[in-house]
């Protein structure tokens, strides 16, 4: 029987088979009604172990875990750990550090020093030095969330549309340029200060559903859209090796 990886984010549900080389072919759904329809339930895989990471609302997380328990013999939920696979988290209370950020650092650790930027509902930025020490990070609104917030306060400002320009000449483009530009500026500032702190410029990794529009503005970035699932695969492998040491028979 097979093992599968499940990443339940704030806006998307992604899953893929766990393979010897890491992550197999990824499927992604917008979560909500799509997850709970009978057809969607039947489309979910079955297997031995479901390895799950979730930053979604508790009610949605509980619903998905209940569903997975009907389709898998075991369900393992990832939690942020103070230290795992050589990565050490900066937070004094590691449980307050989002599991998606934790898993992204696990996946990126092999090329540390690295600055990891996740672009989803939030924009998260985290710095990992060459020794595996997390030096801290930032959380901001993503460009999509900025647009939606502006539209909610001023309905005449469209929630989407427009192309980036350094000096836009219409409202939609000005909104796209301002919101995308704010995210890029925060990432670039983080890179600048990371280089000063570490004495070398870290590799920049960008991931998440909202990352694509930023890539032309960050030409040196490495794009790894499934970084959280990659990290979940790392965590699963670490957990299985740890269990084997405890129970060698």
Q: Which residues are catalytic?
A: 100
Residues 6+ apart with CB under 8 A from 174: 162, 168
Structure tokens that stand for 210 in this block: 């909202």
| CA 182 – CA 176 distance, rounded (Å) | 10
In terms of C-beta density within 10 A (0-12 exposed, 13-18 middle, 19 or more buried), how is residue 219 classed? Answer: exposed
- Is residue 207 within 8 A of residue 14, CB to CB? The reply is no
Tally Cβ neighbours within 10 Å of residue 73: 11
Tally Cβ neighbours within 10 Å of residue 14: 22
CA distance from start to end of the chain: 20
| CA 42 – CA 149 distance, rounded (Å) | 36
Q: CA distances (Å), 248 to each of 20, 24, 241, in order?
A: 21, 28, 10
How would DSSP label each residue in 57-78? -HHHHHHHHHHHHTTEEEEEE-
């Amino acid at each position: 029987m097979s093992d599968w990886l499940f990443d339940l984010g704030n806006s998307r549900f992604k899953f893929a088979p766990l393979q010897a080389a890491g992550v197999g072919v990824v499927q992604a759904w917008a979560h909500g009604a799509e997850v709970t329809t009978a057809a969607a339930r039947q489309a979910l895989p079955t297997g031995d172990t479901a390895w799950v990471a979730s930053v979604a609302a508790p009610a949605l997380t509980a619903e998905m875990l209940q569903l997975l328990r009907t389709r898998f013999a075991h369900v393992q939920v990832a939690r942020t750990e103070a230290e795992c696979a050589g990565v050490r988290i900066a937070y004094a209370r590691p449980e307050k550090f989002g599991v998606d950020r934790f898993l992204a650092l696990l996946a990126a650790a092999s090329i540390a020093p690295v600055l990891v930027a996740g672009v989803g509902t939030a924009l998260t930025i985290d710095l990992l030095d060459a020794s595996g020490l997390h030096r801290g990070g930032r959380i901001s609104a993503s460009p999509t969330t900025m647009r939606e917030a502006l539209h909610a306060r001023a309905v005449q400002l469209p929630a989407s549309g427009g192309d980036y320009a350094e000096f836009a000449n219409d409202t939609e483009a000005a909104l796209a340029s301002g919101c995308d530009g704010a995210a890029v500026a925060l990432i670039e500032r983080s890179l600048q200060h990371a280089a000063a702190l570490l004495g070398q410029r870290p590799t920049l990794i960008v991931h998440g559903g909202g990352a694509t529009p930023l890539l032309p503005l960050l030409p040196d970035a490495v794009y790894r859209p499934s970084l959280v699932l990659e990290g979940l695969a790392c965590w699963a492998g670490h957990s299985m090796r740890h269990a084997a040491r405890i129970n060698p028979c």
